[in-house]
Amino acid sequence: MRDFVYTNKSIEECYGCKACEQICPKNAITMSENEEGFQYPHIDTSKCVDCGLCQCVCPTQMENISVLFHVTPQTVSAAWNPNLSERLESTSGGMFFLLACQFINERGVVYGADYREDLTVFHCRFDDSEALKRARGSKYVQSDINDTFLQVRTDLKNGRKVLFSGTPCQIAGLRLFLRKPYDNLFTIDLVCHGVPSPFFFKKNLTFLEKEYGDHVVDFKFRAKKKSGWRSYVKYVFNQRKPIWDFLGKNYYTHAFHLGYFNRASCYTCDFSRSERVGDITLSDFWGAEKHCRSLKKARKWGFNLVMCNTPQGRSLYETVLKYVESMECPVEWAIQGDVRLRHTEQRPGMRDKAYKLLSEKGYAYMSSVYGIKESLPQRLIPAWAKNLIREIQSRI
CATH class of 11-66: alpha beta
HEC readout, 74-93 = CEEEEEECCCHHHHHCCCCC
Dump pLDDT digits (tens) for 233-269.
Answer: 999 999 999 998 887 889 999 999 999 999 999 999 9
**Radius of gyration over alpha carbons of the chain, in Å?**
21
Percent of the chain with pLDDT over 90: 79
Q: b/e map of 13-33 (b: 16 or more CB within 10 Å)?
A: bbbbbbbbbbbbeeebbebee
The neighbouring-strand residues paired with 33 are 39
**Per-residue DSSP letter, 276:** B
Question: Per-domain residue ranges for the chain?
Answer: 11-66, 68-396
Question: For each of the chain's 396 residues, which pLDDT tens digit applies?
Answer: 566 666 557 889 999 999 999 999 999 999 999 999 999 999 999 999 999 999 999 999 989 999 999 988 899 999 999 998 888 888 889 999 999 999 999 999 999 999 999 999 999 999 999 999 999 999 999 999 999 999 999 999 999 999 999 999 999 999 999 999 999 999 999 999 999 999 999 999 999 999 999 999 999 998 877 566 667 899 999 999 999 888 788 999 999 999 999 999 999 999 999 999 999 999 999 999 999 988 988 888 889 999 999 999 999 999 999 999 999 999 999 999 999 999 998 999 999 999 999 999 999 999 999 987 654 455 556 655 655 555 554 444
Q: What is the amino acid identity at position 215?
A: H
As a whole number of angstroms, the distance between CA 299 and CA 278 comes to: 25
As a whole number of angstroms, the distance between CA 386 and CA 231 comes to: 9
Please tell me the pTM assigned to this model.
Answer: 0.92
Signed CA dihedral, 125, 128, 133, 138: sign only: positive
> Considering only CA atoms, which of 393, 217, 224 is closest in space to residue 302?
224
Q: What is the amino acid identity at position 66?
A: S
**CB of 225 closer than 8 Å to CB of 316:** no
